[in-house]
Structures are given as C-alpha cells and as structure tokens.
Amino acid sequence: MSVSSKILQKSESFYNAYERKQGGDPISTHYCPGCGHGIVHKLIAEALDDFGVQDKGILISPVGCSVFAYYYFDVGNIQAAHGRAPAVGTGYSRANPDSIVICYQGDGDLAAIGANEIIQAANRGEKMTVIFVNNAIYGMTGGQMAPTTLIAQRTTTTPLGRNAENEGYPLRMSEIISTLEAPVYVARTKISDTKSINATRKAIRKAIKAQVDGRGFSFVEILSACPTGWKMSPRESEVWIEEIMAKYFNPGIYKDTIDTRQPKIQQKLIVDPKDYHELLDISTASLSSLEGVLPVPPVQEMIEEIKIAGFGGQGVLSLGYVMANIAMGHNYEVSWLPSYGPEMRGGTANCSVKVSHKRIGAPVVAHPTTLIALNKPSMAKFENEITSNGIIIYDNSLIDTAPQRKDVQVYAVPATELADKIGSTKSANMVMLGAYAALRGYLDTAYIEWAIPQIIKKKKLQELNIQAFKTGMEHIKELLKKCVN
Amino acid sequence: MSKVLIKGNEAVVRGAILAGCRNYFGYPITPASEIAETAALYFPRVGGGFLQAESEIGAINMVYGAAAAGVRVMTASSSPGISLKMEGISYIAGAELPCVIIDIMRGGPGLGNIAPEQGDYNQIVKGGGHGNYKLIVLAPNSAQEMSDLTMLAFELADKYRNPAVVLADGYIGQMMEPVKFPQPVTSFPEKDWALKATRETRDNLVTSIDLDPDLLEKHNEKLQKKYAIIEENEVRFEEYRLDDAEIILMAFGIVSRLVQGAVDELRALGIKVGMLRPITLFPFPKKQIQEYAAKSSVKYFHIFEMNNGQMLDDVRLVLNGSKPVKFYGRMGGNVHSVKEIIEQVMKEMREL
Ligand code: SF4
C-alpha cells in the first residue's frame, strides 16, 4: 500500500462521520484545502490504532484551528484554554496515569501564550506526547504573527514583514526543549511530500510508543502548511516549507534517550480509609483523645487573653501552642493566632492565645489580660495595651527595665537564666509556662507535666522542658512567699 | 471524636483528604502556602498526588485536567493568585467540572499586603472570570468550618458539576482552634460524564466551546437552571440572637466572630441586636434576609465587612429599599475590633 493511500484510510481512532461538527457535511474536515492538520491528525490516529491504545487515548485540543480536533478523534477528548494543554494534560495524566495523553498544539498556543506550560511540563517529564504543529502563523484568528513567523514574513500584524528589531526572532522550540533533562524524545519533521510525511509518521509513532512504554515526555514539532494564512496555493505552500521554513527550522531528531530511560513504574499506593486519621496525624496529635487519662479541674467561667512576645527562636509561638493545647485538654474553648509573614522576619514574633469557658469571638488579642514578654521590644510594644488588673510576666534576664504600669501585677522571671542553669536556654519558654500556671492557677500541674511531652515531641528536650516548667512554678511560689512575708 | 488544635489552613487539607480528594495542584503564596505545604506532606501518604505547579494558571489548568478524569481535586491560593486563576475557573465552570478552590484572602488591590481582607467577594461571588457562570461559595469562620466546609464543597461540587470555593481570609487560615474531624467519606457519586480512558467513556467530551449561538445560549440557560436549583436547595446561614432583634448585623467569615462578640456586649446593655451570617455567599440567603426585613420590629440592617462593601451590594439588592442599610468596612488588612463594632452600632442608632 502506498503512503498516500494509507493515510487516506480511516483509522479506528478516527470517527467515520464527524457528527460533532456543526453544519455542513460530516465527511470532510473543517480544515482548508492543503492544510497540514488533517494529515497530522491521521498520523496520530493511525499510531494510536497500531499500539492498541485507542480506548486509553486522551486528546487535548488547543485554541487555534485545531480547537475542534474532537470532531475527528474517536478517543477521550478534552478541549483546553489557549496555551494550557500541557497543564491540563499534566492534571489528567497525574489523576489517571493509566492513560495515553496527547497534547495537540499550534505555534501561538505552544510557543507564545503557553510557552511556560510547555517548558515546565517537558521539564517535569510528564507522561504525555506533545504534537506541535508549526505553520508560522495564527490561522484561526486570520493570519497574525506567530512566535515562529519567519523574519520578513508578512502577516496581518507584520504587514511589512517580521522585523527582528521589533518582534525578535522566530522561536525554535525543538532546540529549546531538547536542552531539558527530562524529555526522552524531541524531533522536528515536515509535511511537504510523501517522503517527509513518512518521516513524520515515524516520529509520531516513536513519540507515542515512548509514552506507551512508560518512558515519559515526548515532543514532535511538525512544519505544516497553512495555505490560507500564507496566501499561497497548496503546491506553493509545500515548496515554501521545503525552501524557506525548513532552512530556519531544521528537521531532525534533537533528542532520543528512549532506550536509556527506565520505564516509570506506576506503583499505586492503596490506603484503607480507616487509617486516614492516623496518617493525617489526627488521632496521634490529639490530647483529648486521651481524655480521662488524667483528671482535670472543672471549667471556670473566665476569658483569658494572652499575648506572648519575644524574638523569633525564643519559642514564643510554641509556648502559646502548648498553653492552648493544655487549656483545650482542660475542656476550655481556645484559639491561637500567630503574627505571620514579614512581621516575623524583623526578628520579633508574637502570638495571641485566648482561653474561655464559652465560644471565642475574635482570635486577635488587642488588650491582653496576661502579657508574657521575652524581650525588650515586646515589652515596649505591648505594655500599654494590657488591661488594668492584668498580669505582666517578663524575662528580667533579658529585659533590664521593669514595666512602668502601676495598675497591673508585674512578675519578673529570669527565664533565660534559669533555663540556662538547668541545661538549655531553649527551655526558657517552659519556665514561663510554669510561671503562668502558678499565677493563674486554673491548669492542673500533673496534667501539664504529662501533657508537655505529648505536645512537644522532640525527645531531647522532654525532660528539660518538664524541669523548666517546674522551675518556673517554683520561682513564682518563692516570689509570692516573699511578698507575703 | 477527638479534637485537634490545628490551623485553619491545615484543617482544610485534612478535611479535603477525608472528603476523598486525591490530587492537589497549587502555587505558593502567603497566607495560603501552608495549605500547599500540608498537602505536600499528606496527599502522598494516602496515595494521592501533590504537585507544585509552575504558576497559578498552570495549577488551575491541572485541576481542569484532573477533574475531567473524574477524581476529586483541589487547589488553593490567595487573592492575587486567584485573580490569575480566573481564566481557568471560567473554563471549569463552562465545562461543568467539579473541583474545590480555596481562597485565603489578603489585602489588595495589586500586591497589597498579606494581612487578612475580604476584598475577593466580588471576584469570587460575582464572577471574576468571563461569562454567565456562578461558583458555589462557602465562607467559614472557624478552623472547624475550614474542615467542614471544605468537605461540603467537594460534595456540592460533585452534586452540581460545578466548581466550589471556600472563601476564607488570612486570620482563619492562620489561627489554631480545636477541630473535630469526622470519619472519611467512602461513597462517592458516579461520574458517567468523566473521561476515564476506557472504551465506555471514550465518547465523553470535556469542552466549553460552542460556535453556534443558539446552542451556546441553550448551554447557558441550562447553567442558569442549575444555579436556580442550587439557590433553592443549598442556602446555609447562621442566626444569632435574632428572635426579637431590632437591628440586624450581618457579616461573613472572620468578621462574624467579632460581630458575634459585639452582639453579646450590646445585648448586655439592653440593645436588641442579632446577627445573620451567610455561610453560603452563593447561594445567598435572600429569603432569610427578606423574612427579617418583613418584620415590623426590625429597624435596619448593619453590614460589617473587611472590604469596601461588596456583600453590602447583595444585601441592598435583596432588600430593594424595604429597610435601611448601614455599612462599616475596614480595608488594607485591618480587622474591626469588637469595640469598634459596638461604637459603630451605637453611632448609627443615635443617628436614626
Ligand atoms: S487557516 Fe491555515 S491552519 Fe487553519 S485550517 Fe486553514 S490552512 Fe489550516
């Protein structure tokens, strides 16, 4: 059978009648006479047939003349936004790796508006084959300049011919993509005569086969005629491809590492939903799942608004987190809100913790009932915000001036110094927790000692943290004794 | 059921996985990045897929592709990133694909800042992308609802073949609260329209193009009918101390927490206020608002938002002049304080 008669035969992967095509006859395509798309379509369909993957085939059509590729391909069809076919293909292929994904794109779609999508999908080595029809012009929109339009080529938006000074140079996509690590096959072919159609058939087969064999991303660029856009006869177009286009866009195989690439084996991890809570750290992270392990005192009516502030690295956020967790374990409503983003990069960090017997409204603490200040700037920032009769606990090993407020209770706890003595300044925050618990009195000591290692899972610090907590409690008890005396 | 102290952003991911979501595609942006980070950790653990896309546009188009395959799929971003996704969202709505999009709103316009705002109401509820489409929009106000409403979003998205958005803000995303997680969803609706790369589904087509104006009009009419059904069936709202309320405060998302605090304090002063909180922004609780407006005891509505009055427009449309509407908004990432809300309520009361 001759090449031309074979390509005229209907493939299984091609509809017999184009019923999706609106108006006109369902036997001929919507492409212009002499257009390259029809031939490329048939070569793809033929390859899908030959490899027996019609049912698995997913064709993603672009925006451009081939937007209606789904009129013709008897495979699963997705129509994508302009330039986005490789992203859509990525999504599909990841969701259903047991498919054969063909992204069909034109030059405006692939090399202009979708240049990022194609580079990135290629670079990730997505399991897909991209067929890139390069006809150096925008066909569907009526002959405007494409990223692959040649220098001096006239289009409706380069009426005097493409000028490199103004529009830059035609993009050679095959060359660009072949520099990437992941793609296994990159080739450029042309369709201007029987011989070149045959070479294109070979390249398309090779690219699709690479995907069928699980080797990864393959790419075929095809120099193809657009007689309408070029304002040439089909015959003139063939000559133009040969003599002009192919001189700038050299046909050839730019990359072929198919044989050196191990097939990707898709191992699908199947997880029993019963295990989700454990895998999502829901059952393991929870204190209240251990409810009843230790008794807690009854809930009191109260609204505690705590601000904890210091340098990043002083464990400010984790102190708040531990407090909120413990209060939750005592059946209080709690919320925890960090300062975030650039605010934290200045070196200071703070968080708001609310503890209440009833549902908490705003999670932001504007006027704390308790301020725990671990450095000087924090004291300066929040001292005036605290409510009268509130409590300030501050680290006097780092803050050398005592707060000025007379309407609040002030407790100096040299947390950093005390923590350093028992082994690490990292536990200074837990010294503060001890001080807080001793002063506020609504949290159970035994419960806290049990809970700390459940919340801060770092083994190295567990003993130290409990000791630091006890040290903080002791310090306050001593202070209070002195006051009484 | 056990409680976990957890960030809203992390609750979203757990809720999504419990709802059977299998693929996540996203791009980092503050204050939504934790959703991507948490997803990167947990999706692979349960046999799902996580991919950091090259761009927001890439991410939403990957969602389009995965949704076409019939899996439960999601993405998350914050305001400027959502603006970038709008093209894809319009396509997804046009092609009637179910998916879930999380928007952790931040200050705008432009690059704005990363503090919480509610300035995306218009772009999410009213469109943003081109065409006559609607998104299902759920507005959580707690870490618990971040999980619950994400799960509900998957259910509604599948039920109506429509994208669903969880519209939250930087505060809800960042704050930690105790969350109770339900058992995982194990039965899912059949999607006979999906492309499964099988002989049986080969004839399925996912597209949003139709050159014939009459056919495209028909498609649009079908979409409008679907939206009407959603409006009929899926309205969700919260009523707080509304029984004898003379002033109805309205807020969504985080602002509703502050308003609720203000209601308690105003009630303690003997002022008859209550709060009506839309949980679904589309469908909007029109009937409920109208019912309250019809009560002679209700004097006026007072709307609080962290934007320039975007939900306010919807309330005005619903009331259609039947009751006065007052508004107080903060912008730029500032959040109302409870005190401020109380002052505003008192001020309007005096003026009326
Ligand atoms: S305009 Fe060009 S590319 Fe489009 S169908 Fe006609 S010949 Fe083919």
List per-residue pLDDT tens for chain A, 485 residues long: 334 444 456 899 999 999 999 877 888 899 999 999 999 999 999 999 999 999 999 999 999 999 999 999 999 999 999 999 999 999 999 999 999 999 999 999 999 999 999 999 999 999 999 999 999 999 999 999 999 999 999 999 999 999 999 999 999 999 999 999 999 999 999 999 999 999 999 999 999 999 999 999 999 999 999 999 999 999 999 999 999 999 999 999 999 999 999 888 777 889 999 999 999 999 876 665 455 667 889 999 999 999 999 988 899 999 999 999 999 999 999 999 988 544 555 567 899 999 999 989 888 888 999 999 999 999 999 999 999 999 999 999 999 999 999 999 999 999 999 999 999 999 999 999 999 999 999 999 999 999 998 888 888 888 999 999 999 999 999 999 887 76
CB-nearest to A361 from B66, B91, B258 is: B258
Least confident interval from A281-290, A436-445, B129-138, B148-157: A281-290
DSSP element (H, E) containing A178: helix A173-178
DSSP element (H, E) containing A304: strand A303-311
Q: In what order do the strands lie in the sheet with B247-250?
A: B237-240, B273-278, B247-250, B300-305, B325-329
Contact with chain B for residue A89, Cβ under 8 A: yes
Q: Cβ B64–A88 below 8 Å, yes or no?
A: yes
Residue nearest to atom 8 of ligand 1 (CA): A35
A64 CA: nearest ligand 1 atom: 4
Residues of B in contact with A57 (CB under 8 A): 197, 202
CB-nearest to B58 from A67, A117, A289 is: A117
A31 CA: nearest ligand 1 atom: 5
Predicted complex ipTM: 0.96
Quote the minimal CA–CA distance from B217 to chain A in Å.
15
Q: Are strands A185-190 and A252-256 parallel, antiparallel or unpaired?
A: antiparallel
Residues of A in contact with B183 (CB under 8 A): 273, 277
Residues of B in contact with A283 (CB under 8 A): 2
Q: Is the domain B3-233 a CATH 3.90.180.10 member? A: no
pLDDT at A5 (0 to 100): 44
State the pTM of this model. 0.95
Closest by Cα among B65, B75, B200, B199 to A95: B65
pLDDT in tens, B6-65: 999 999 999 999 999 999 999 999 999 999 999 999 999 999 999 999 999 999 999 999
Instruction: Please report the residues numbered 436 through 455 in chain A whose beta carbons come closer than 8 angstroms to any beta carbon of chain B.
Output: none
CB-nearest to B175 from A92, A269, A335 is: A335
> How far apart (Å, rounded) are the C-alpha atoms in residues A352 and A337?
5
Residues of B in contact with A58 (CB under 8 A): 195, 197
Cβ of A224 less than 6 Å from ligand 1: no
Rg (CA), chain A: 35
Query: What are the residue ranges spanned by the domains of chain A?
Result: 37-260, 303-484
pLDDT at B18 (0 to 100): 98
Q: Is B32 in contact with B81 (CB distance < 8 Å)?
A: yes
Q: Cβ A96–B196 below 8 Å, yes or no?
A: yes
> How far apart (Å, rounded) are the C-alpha atoms in residues A78 and B202?
11
> How far apart (Å, rounded) are the C-alpha atoms in residues A6 and A462?
76
Cβ of A62 less than 6 Å from ligand 1: no
Instruction: Please report the residues numbered 58 through 77 in chain A whose beta carbons come closer than 8 angstroms to any beta carbon of chain B.
Output: 58, 60, 67-68, 70, 74-77
DSSP element (H, E) containing B80: helix B79-94
> How far apart (Å, rounded) are the C-alpha atoms in residues A371 and A389?
12
Q: Hey, what CATH topology would domain A37-260 get?
A: Rossmann fold (3.40.50)
Closest by Cα among A34, A30, A88 to A64: A30
Chain A, chain B: beta-carbon pairs less than 8 Å apart: 236
Backbone angles phi, psi at B202, to 5 degrees: -60, -30
Cβ of A65 less than 6 Å from ligand 1: yes
CB-nearest to B61 from A87, A342, A362 is: A87
A470: helix, coil or strand?
Answer: helix
Cβ of A41 less than 6 Å from ligand 1: no
Closest by Cα among A133, A152, A153 to A143: A153
Instruction: Please report the residues numbered 272 through 291 in chain A whose beta carbons come closer than 8 angstroms to any beta carbon of chain B.
Output: 273, 276-277, 279-283, 285-289
pLDDT in tens, B314-337: 999 999 999 999 999 999 989 898
Rg (CA), chain B: 20
Those residues whose C-beta lies under 8 Å from the C-beta of residue A268, and which sit 6 or more positions away, are B47
Q: Cβ B2–A89 below 8 Å, yes or no?
A: no
The HSE-up count of residue B188 (CA atoms within 13 Å, CB side) is 19
CB-nearest to B65 from A78, A276, A366 is: A78
Closest by Cα among A139, A289, A182, A78 to B208: A78
Name the architecture of domain B238-351. Answer: 3-Layer(aba) Sandwich (3.40)
Query: What are the residue ranges spanned by the domains of chain B?
Result: 3-233, 238-351
Cβ of A146 less than 6 Å from ligand 1: no
Instruction: Name the residue of A21, A29, A30, A35 to mutate for ligand 1: max ligand atoms within 8 A of Cβ.
Output: A35
Contact with chain B for residue A140, Cβ under 8 A: no
pLDDT at A36 (0 to 100): 97
**In terms of C-beta density within 10 A (0-12 exposed, 13-18 middle, 19 or more buried), how is residue A163 classed?**
exposed
> How far apart (Å, rounded) are the C-alpha atoms in residues B259 and B306?
12
Interface with B, mutate which of A82, A96, A272 (most B CBs under 10 A): A96
Closest by Cα among B142, B1, B4, B177 to A455: B4
Axis crossing angle, helix B310-319 with helix B286-294, rounded to the nearest 10: 60
pLDDT at A364 (0 to 100): 84
> How far apart (Å, rounded) are the C-alpha atoms in residues B196 and A76?
8
As a residue count, chain A comes to 485
CATH superfamily of A303-484: Pyruvate-ferredoxin oxidoreductase, PFOR, domain III (3.40.920.10)
- Label residue B248 by pLDDT band (50, 70, 90): very high
Greatest Cα pair distance in chain A: 111
Contact with chain B for residue A377, Cβ under 8 A: no
